[in-house]
C-alpha cells in the first residue's frame, strides 16, 4: 500500500443550488400599441363587462386543489428538500481558494502542522476520495479534492491526512505493517488521528469499510503515540515534534 499514493475517503454531499423560475408578466396590447383594458377586452367580444357577476374561470376554481395534490406528490416521493439540508448546502465551501484557505487553517491548528509542507486543491476524479498523501516518497503534501465541501467534512479529511503523515514520519516506508501503528490498519490509524484531533466522533463498530475508529482503536492510537514520544519528519525541513495526544475519549 505504501508504494502507491495514499488516499482517504470522505462521504460528502455535493453542494446543489436551486434556481427559481421567474415568470414574466405579459400584457396584451392592441395593434396601436395601447394596452387592453378589461372593458375594451369584453367589448371586443360583444360581452358586457361585469366585475361582480363575471364567472370565475375553471382553472382558478381548481388551482388550490392542483397545488395541494402537487405538494402531496412531492412529499410522498421525497422531492421536497428539508430546510436544514438546504441551509447546510448553502454553507458548503466550493471555491478552490476558499477550500485551500480553510484546509490550511486546520493545519495551523494542528500540533503536527510542521509535518505538512503544502496544500493542493485539484479535482481528484475518483468517487468517494476526498484527499490523499503520498508515501513513495513521502513529501508532506496534502491534496484535497476540488468539490463542494461541508466545513466539518473538510476538517476531518485534513486531520485524517495529517494522521497518515504522523505514521510516515514515525515509522518510514520500510517498516513492516505489524511493527507500526500499534497494530492498527493504516486507515484506522488516520481515522483515529482525526478523532483525537476532535474533528469527528469515534465509531460504534467497525462497519463494512477500513475507515473506522472505535473507542478501543482510539485507546490503542493514544497509547502508541505516548510510546513514540516524538515524531521526526523525513521530508522538507527535517524536524522532530513532541507527541501531543489530545485524549478526547468518548467523542
In the chain, domain spans: 6-12+94-242, 38-89
pLDDT band at 82 (very low <50, low <70, confident <90, very high): low
Overall residue count recorded for the chain in this entry:
251
Asked whether residue 74 carries a pLDDT value surpassing 90, the answer given is no
What does the alpha-carbon distance between residue 230 and residue 166 come to, in Å, rounded to a whole number? 10
Q: Rounded mean pLDDT of 169-176?
A: 81
Task: Indicate the burial class of 78 (C-beta count within 10 angstroms; 0-12, 13-18, 19 or more).
Answer: exposed
* Per-residue model confidence (pLDDT) at position 39: 53
For residue 57, what is the DSSP state? P
C-alpha distances out from residue 32 to 17, 28, 35, 42, 135, Å: 43, 12, 9, 18, 78
**Which triple of cell numbers denotes residue 234?**
523525513
* Per-residue model confidence (pLDDT) at position 78: 58
Amino acid at each position: 500500500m505504501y508504494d502507491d499514493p495514499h488516499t482517504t475517503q470522505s462521504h460528502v454531499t455535493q453542494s446543489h443550488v436551486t434556481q427559481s423560475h421567474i415568470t414574466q408578466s405579459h400584457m396584451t396590447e392592441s395593434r396601436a400599441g395601447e394596452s387592453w383594458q378589461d372593458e375594451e377586452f369584453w367589448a371586443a367580444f360583444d360581452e358586457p363587462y361585469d366585475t361582480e357577476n363575471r364567472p370565475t374561470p375553471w382553472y382558478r376554481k381548481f388551482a388550490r386543489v392542483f397545488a395541494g395534490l402537487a405538494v402531496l406528490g412531492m412529499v410522498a416521493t421525497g422531492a421536497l428538500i428539508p430546510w436544514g439540508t438546504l441551509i447546510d448546502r448553502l454553507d458548503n465551501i466550493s471555491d478552490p481558494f476558499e477550500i485551500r484557505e480553510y484546509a490550511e487553517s486546520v493545519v495551523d491548528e494542528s500540533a503536527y502542522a510542521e509535518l505538512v509542507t503544502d496544500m493542493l486543491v485539484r479535482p481528484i476524479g475518483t468517487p468517494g476520495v476526498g484527499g490523499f498523501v503520498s508515501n513513495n516518497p513521502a513529501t508532506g503534501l496534502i491534496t484535497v479534492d476540488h468539490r463542494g465541501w461541508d466545513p466539518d467534512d473538510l476538517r476531518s479529511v485534513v486531520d485524517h491526512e495529517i494522521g497518515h503523515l504522523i505514521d510516515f514520519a514515525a515509522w518510514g516506508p520500510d517498516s513492516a505493517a505489524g511493527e507500526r501503528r500499534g497494530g492498527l490498519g493504516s486507515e484506522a490509524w488516520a481515522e483515529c488521528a482525526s478523532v483525537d484531533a476532535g474533528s469527528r466522533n469515534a465509531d460504534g463498530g467497525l462497519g463494512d469499510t477500513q475507515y473506522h475508529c472505535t473507542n478501543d482503536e482510539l485507546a490503542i492510537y493514544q497509547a502508541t503515540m505516548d510510546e513514540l514520544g516524538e515524531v521526526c519528519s523525513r521530508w522538507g525541513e527535517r524536524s522532530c515534534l513532541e507527541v501531543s495526544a489530545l485524549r478526547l475519549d468518548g467523542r
